[in-house]
């Protein structure tokens, strides 16, 4: 399983609250609405940093983790017409495409008491 992590900054026009709402209520459902999401995406997580006293201010407005079984599935998903025509055009509505940081990880869960 490959985990693709995307660190993103919101557009200057959006407040933090507007950004979180748009990401969770509009973009995530749009992302999951295409058939390729059901076929290739194994897990999709959107996270938004919380400011807590004693911790540094977040450097990014969101973290998106998308899990695929293989690079082939990743490439097939992101090259699909549905992604290119429906999902990708929406991304620039709420985050800065030219500032995205991407990581590819081979995740190893050491402990997960949430699922046991």
According to the model, what pLDDT value does residue 108 have?
82
According to the model, what pLDDT value does residue 116 have?
57
Q: What percent of the chain has pLDDT over 90?
A: 89
Average pLDDT of 3-24? 97
Reduce the DSSP state of residue 86 to 3 states and report it: helix
**How far from the centroid of its chain's Cα atoms is residue 68's Cα?**
13
Tokens 């999401």 belong to residue:
37
Indicate left, alpha or beta for 69 from its phi (over 0: left) and psi (-120 to 50: alpha). alpha
Average pLDDT of 39-66? 96
Q: Where are the domains of the chain?
A: 2-105
**How far from the centroid of its chain's Cα atoms is residue 39's Cα?**
17
Q: Does the domain spanning 2-105 belong to CATH 3.20.20.70?
A: no
pTM above 0.75, yes or no: yes
Average pLDDT of 84-102? 97
Average pLDDT of 63-83? 97
């Amino acid at each position: 399983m490959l985990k693709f992590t995307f660190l993103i900054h919101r557009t200057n026009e959006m407040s933090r609250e507007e950004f979180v709402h748009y990401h969770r209520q509009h973009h995530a459902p749009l992302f999951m609405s295409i058939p390729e999401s059901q076929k290739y995406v194994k897990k999709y997580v959107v996270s938004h940093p919380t400011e807590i006293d004693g911790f540094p201010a977040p450097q990014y407005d969101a973290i998106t983790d998308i899990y695929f079984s293989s690079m082939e599935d990743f490439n097939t998903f992101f090259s699909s017409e549905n992604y290119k025509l429906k999902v990708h055009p929406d991304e620039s509505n709420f985050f800065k495409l030219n500032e995205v940081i991407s990581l590819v990880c081979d995740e190893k869960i050491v402990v997960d008491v949430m699922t046991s």
